[in-house]
Amino acid sequence: MGIPKGLLQIREEPILRHVLHQAAWPGPTLLVTSPNREHPPAWQEFDREVADPIAGWGPMRGILTALETAQSDYVVISTVDMPGIGHEQLTWLVEQMQNHPGALGLMLRCKASIEPFPNIFRRDAAGLLREQLTAEQRSVHRLASDPCMVLLDAPATWPDSVWINLNYPGDIKAYERNERESTSPNPRHF
C-alpha cells in the first residue's frame, strides 16, 4: 500500500474509525498494533490498545497478543485491511462459537477457499498459537487444519464486500465504489 494500513482512510476518515463503525461492537474493543506503529489515527476510539511485543511476526503474533491480553473468554478477530467486515459477521461468529463448546476457535470457508479473517478464538487458544509460532508456523490459514479448530462455511448471504482485502492503492477506491453501489436505491449488478 505504500504506507502502514492503520494510516489508510475510507472516504476521508481514518480506517480504524470506519472499521469500528462497521463492527458496531457492543463489548470491549482491543486494537493490536505493531511495535513502532502505535497510536494510528482513531486509536483512542478503542477501549484499549496493545502493541505486539515482537515485530515482524505477522497476524498470528497479533492474534496471540490479543488472546494474551483479552479480558473476555472469546476474542473475535477482524483486520484493518478488511473494512467490509461488520456487526453481522462478528455476531454470527460468536453465535457459532457457542454452538461448538469444544473448539478452540472457528475459521471460515467462502466458496471453497479458507478465509483466515474474520475468525474467533477462545482465550485458551493462546497455547496453540504459541506452539505454532515456536515451530515457526506463522500462517493463520494453516490453523484451519488443526483438530482443535472448526472450519465453517460462511453464510452465502454475506455480501462480497466482506471479503475485500486492501492490498493495493486501487483497492480503497474499489471498496468505496462497491459500498456506494450496494447502498444506492438501484444498485448495479455486474
Please give the grid coordinates belonging to residue 173: 477506491
Q: Is residue 155 in some structural domain? A: yes
Asked if pLDDT for residue 4 goes beyond 70, the answer is yes
Q: Give residue 187's pLDDT.
A: 43
Among candidate residues 68, 55, 63, the one with its CA nearest the CA of residue 139: 63
Residue found under cell 485458551: 124
Q: Whole domain around residue 133: which residue ranges?
A: 5-183
Q: Give residue 46's pLDDT.
A: 97
Among candidate residues 68, 92, 134, 103, the one with its CA nearest the CA of residue 78: 92
Quote the CA–CA distance of 18 and 173 in Å, as a whole number. 14
Q: What is the CA radius of gyration of the chain?
A: 16
Half-sphere exposure at residue 126, Cβ-oriented, CA atoms within 13 angstroms: 12
Q: Is residue 189 in some structural domain? A: no
Classify 30 in phi/psi space as left (phi over 0), alpha (psi -120 to 50) or beta: beta
CA angle (147, 52, 119) in 5-degree steps: 35
Quote the CA–CA distance of 146 and 28 in Å, as a whole number. 28
Q: Is residue 93 in some structural domain? A: yes
- In total, how many domains does the chain have? 1
Please state the pTM of the whole predicted model.
0.90
Residue pair 72/29 in contact (Cβ under 8 Å)? The answer is no
Please give the grid coordinates belonging to residue 27: 463489548
Choice among 56-60, 72-76, 171-175 with the minimum mean pLDDT: 171-175
| 40 DSSP assignment | -
CATH of the domain at 107: 3.90.550.10
Q: Is residue 188 in some structural domain? A: no
What stretches of the chain show up as alpha helix (H) in DSSP?
15-23, 58-69, 87-98, 126-134, 169-183
For residue range 62-109, what is the model confidence (pLDDT) as tens digits?
A: 999 999 999 999 999 999 999 999 999 999 999 999 999 999 999 999
Asked if pLDDT for residue 188 goes beyond 60, the answer is no
For residue range 99-137, what is the model confidence (pLDDT) as tens digits?
A: 999 999 999 999 889 999 999 999 999 999 999 999 999
Q: How confident is the model at residue 34 (pLDDT cuts 50, 70, 90)?
A: very high
